[in-house]
Amino acid sequence: MDALARFPGSYWRDLFDSRVGRTTWPYGSGVWSKKEFVLPEIDSDHIVSLFEGNSNLFWAERLGREHLGGMNDLWVKQCGISHTGSFKDLGMTALVSQVNRLRRAPLSRPINGVGCASTGDTSAALSAYCAAAGIPAIVFLPADRISLQQLIQPIANGATVLSLDTDFDGCMRLIREVTAELPIYLANSLNSLRLEGQKTAAIEILQQFNWQVPDWVIIPGGNLGNIYAFYKGFEMCRVLGLVDRVPRLVCAQAANANPLYRYYKSGWTDFQSLVAGTTFASAIQIGDPVSIDRAVVALKATDGIVEEATEEELMDATALADLTGMFACPHTGVALAALFKLRDQGIIGTNDRTVVVSTAHGLKFTQSKIDYHDKNIKDMLCQYANPPISVKPDFGSVMDVLQKKLNGKV
Ligand SMILES: Cc1ncc(COP(=O)(O)O)c(C=O)c1O
Ligand SMILES: N[C@@H](CCOP(=O)(O)O)C(=O)O
């Protein structure tokens, strides 16, 4: 930070702005366009990048206007529109690049592979970046708890996939033990290299608002590395003079997997890990988050809030987002459901500039959408379901249906 502070904030803003849209290696990546803030000492030849970052900031105009009491400054940061379909690419490029550097001469460290425990997105990102670099990847997955789309990613990318009959927290405990014994580098967000890459999403948001600071940023939380990464990105920009304040952060959890929410509600006095229950937001089905202390730092420093969402709330919020032009994953639904609640309580105001962080691509989680639109979820109304209409293949039948539809009778 001392070295970076030798230059004024305007220097960094201009430098980062000058790299947007560049193809010069590695600055076309949203992460490496901020190389000096991420991993300054790395040689560009050692970087393993798939041109991650630079994701769209979606103006959720209709959702805000029609469903959130006329909110007019609501944005969704589409971190899931990325090479492997989640924000994990941002951190994995930093981590795998550093491993690549360590394995090569002159350092030539004996790292035989890189490993992680995963609910499906970290494993996909690790496998893709390792495959691109020719580094062995080992992933520990909780059997039958991740989507098929997520499962096929490491398989296709040639990783060693261990499907374990336990939950994510069990996988996490095992990978920590294994990486302590074998020359396998740990790729979960315990490793701060991941957070260095992930924090660039926060800097990118500031840049996309022409270095204006939003009032609120809402982030779904599981293992809790990302909430800290966002805080770090915002705080770094404040300390180095790129902006003059930081936004208030909201961490949103599924009610079925909510150890941070419970801790927050206890006034930060009583943290209890738990066995996470099943949730459609399966990538945040985590009961013993490794970055719990970092999350508390981030929330306290930003006057932050923790909210939770039930299964029905998160699925309805996801459906509404989709009906207004998105294709959100259930984790984004958790964050949107938290926004609905904070708007109802009057905590987030109509004119507050608010960013919801979308963490994965909806196409990785289609089964829950299929079940919702089929109204095939036990004890759930599925009030925004839009099932397909079966019609006989003749002109009269088709016309009947369309006329009823146009008259609002279907
Ligand atoms: C899609 C998705 N959203 C949100 C999260 C939560 O991020 P974190 O574990 O950093 O809290 C994860 C992973 O945990 C994820 O895969
Ligand atoms: N959702 C994550 C859970 C692990 O989180 P990490 O950020 O610590 O790797 C996943 O996709 O595996």
**Chain segment 181-198, per-residue pLDDT in tens:** 999 999 999 999 999 999
Structure tokens at 349: 């105001």
Structure tokens at 230: 């966002």
Mean pLDDT confidence for 102-124: 98
* pLDDT value of position 338: 99
Closest ligand to C-alpha of residue 335 is: 1
Ligand 1 atom nearest to 226, measured from its CA: 10
Structure tokens at 16: 């980062």
Residue 410 scores a pLDDT above 70: no
Query: How many CA atoms are closer than 13 Å to the CA of 246, on its beta-carbon side?
Result: 24
Q: Is the dihedral of CA 191, 251, 261, 338 positive or negative?
A: negative
Structure tokens at 28: 């076309």
Measuring from atom 12 of ligand 2, which residue has the nearest CA?
Answer: 118
To test the pocket of ligand 2, the residue of 114, 186, 188 to mutate (highest count of ligand atoms within 8 Å of its CB) is 188
Ligand 2 atom nearest to 123, measured from its CA: 12
Q: What's the pTM value of the predicted model, to 2 decimals?
A: 0.98
Counted residue by residue, the chain has a size of 410
Mean pLDDT confidence for 218-229: 98
What distance, in Å, lies between the first and last C-alpha atoms of the chain? Answer: 61
Ligand 1 atom nearest to 331, measured from its CA: 3
**Cα–Cα dist 125/128, whole Å:** 5
To test the pocket of ligand 2, the residue of 122, 176, 294, 358 to mutate (highest count of ligand atoms within 8 Å of its CB) is 122
**Cα–Cα dist 313/310, whole Å:** 5
Cβ–Cβ < 8 Å for 279, 46: no
325-378 pLDDT tens trace: 999 999 999 999 999 999 999 999 999 999 999 999 999 999 999 999 999 999
ipTM value greater than 0.90: yes
Cα–ligand 1 centroid distance for 361 (angstroms): 12
